[in-house]
Amino acid sequence: MAGEPRAAVLGRRDVVARILRDRGDTLVVTGLGSTTWDAAAAGDHPGNFYLWGGMGGAAMTGLGLARAQPGRRVLVITGDGEMLMGLGSLATIAVAAPANLAICVIDNQHYGETGMQETHTGHGADLAGMAAAAGIGASATVWSADELEAAVPLLHAAPGPVFAAVKVTTDPVPMVLPERDGAAIRVRFRDALLGAAAADG
Ligand SMILES: Cc1ncc(C[n+]2csc(CCOP(=O)(O)OP(=O)(O)O)c2C)c(N)n1
Ligand SMILES: [Mg+2]
C-alpha cells in the first residue's frame, strides 16, 4: 500500500553530479532525455553512452554492456518513467546477476521531459521494492543527502547488481544537450572503451 506522501528534497543535477564525481573509469549508460542532460551537465565524457530513444531499454543496454565487459563497472542512470517501461528487465538482471552492474533511477515521480505527467512512483509504486522482489538484493530508495552519500560507493563498487531509486524534486533545470548523433556516440564510446582501432566496426 502507498504510504504517507513524502516530499523529495534532492536536486537531480546535484545528485547526478555527486554520483559521477566518483565515477573513475565506470561506463555510464543514460536514459532518454533528462538523465542524459543531467550527465552532460555534470561533464561530457567519452565513457557516457547516451540513449536518446528506446524508452525502457536503458537497464537492458547496461546489462548487455556489463556482460560484454565483465572487467568494467557499468552504471545505468535513468528516469522513473523509463524504468517503469522496462520493469521486466529487473527480473532478467536479477537472474543474470552481473556483479559489475548498478542501476540508479533518478525518480522525480513524473514524466519530466514530456510535460511532468505523474508516474506511478508518486502513487506508491516502489521501484526499489520491485527490484528487491525481482531478486536484486542490494536495492534501496534514497531520499536524503546522507543516504546518497551512503549509496554512491555502493553504486560504484558494491557487488552487483545494485539498484537505487533516488527521489528528486521536479524543480526545472536547463537543458544541456550532448552529442545527439547515435552513430557518433557509438563510435566515440567504442573508441574510449576498446581503442580507436576497434571502433571502426
Ligand atoms: C516508447 C516511448 N514512449 C514515449 C516516449 C516519450 N517520452 C520521452 S521522455 C518521456 C518521459 C520520461 O520520463 P522519465 O524517464 O521519468 O524521465 P524524466 O524526464 O522525468 O527525468 C516520454 C514519455 C518515448 N520517447 N518512447
Ligand atoms: Mg521522471
Tell me: the pLDDT tens digits for 12-36?
Answer: 999 999 999 999 999 999 999 899 9
For range 120-134, the mean pLDDT:
98
What is the C-alpha separation between 138 and 116, in angstroms, rounded? 29
- Residue 20: how many other CB atoms lie within 10 Å: 21
For range 176-199, the mean pLDDT:
90
| pLDDT value of residue 116 | 97
| pLDDT value of residue 165 | 99
| pLDDT value of residue 4 | 67
Q: Is residue 48 a contact partner of residue 189, using CB atoms and an 8 Å limit?
A: yes
Query: Is the sign of the CA dihedral 65, 71, 77, 82 positive or negative?
Result: positive
What is the C-alpha separation between 31 and 166, in angstroms, rounded? 15
pLDDT at 111 over 70: yes
| pLDDT value of residue 99 | 98
For range 44-58, the mean pLDDT:
96
| pLDDT value of residue 96 | 98
Using 50, 70 and 90 to split pLDDT, how confident is the model at 100? very high
pLDDT at 200 over 60: no
Using 50, 70 and 90 to split pLDDT, how confident is the model at 5? confident
| pLDDT value of residue 149 | 98
Question: Would you call 10 helix, strand, or coil by DSSP?
Answer: strand
Which one of the ligands is nearest to 113 CA? 1
- Options 2.120.10.30, 3.30.420.40, 3.40.50.10420, 3.40.50.970; CATH for 12-198 is 3.40.50.970
Mutational pocket test of ligand 1: of 103, 105, 113, 177, the residue with most ligand atoms within 8 Å of the beta carbon: 113
The alpha carbon of 22 is separated from its chain's Cα centroid by a whole number of angstroms, namely: 15
Q: Is the CB of 82 under 6 A from ligand 1?
A: yes
Specify the residue with its C-alpha closest to ligand 1, atom 4: 55
The alpha carbon of 49 is separated from its chain's Cα centroid by a whole number of angstroms, namely: 11
Find the 197 Cα to ligand 1 centroid distance in Å: 35
pLDDT at 124 over 90: yes
For a pLDDT cut of 90, what percent of the chain falls above it? 93
Specify the residue with its C-alpha closest to ligand 1, atom 5: 55
Quote the pTM value: 0.97
Mutational pocket test of ligand 1: of 12, 106, 111, 118, the residue with most ligand atoms within 8 Å of the beta carbon: 111
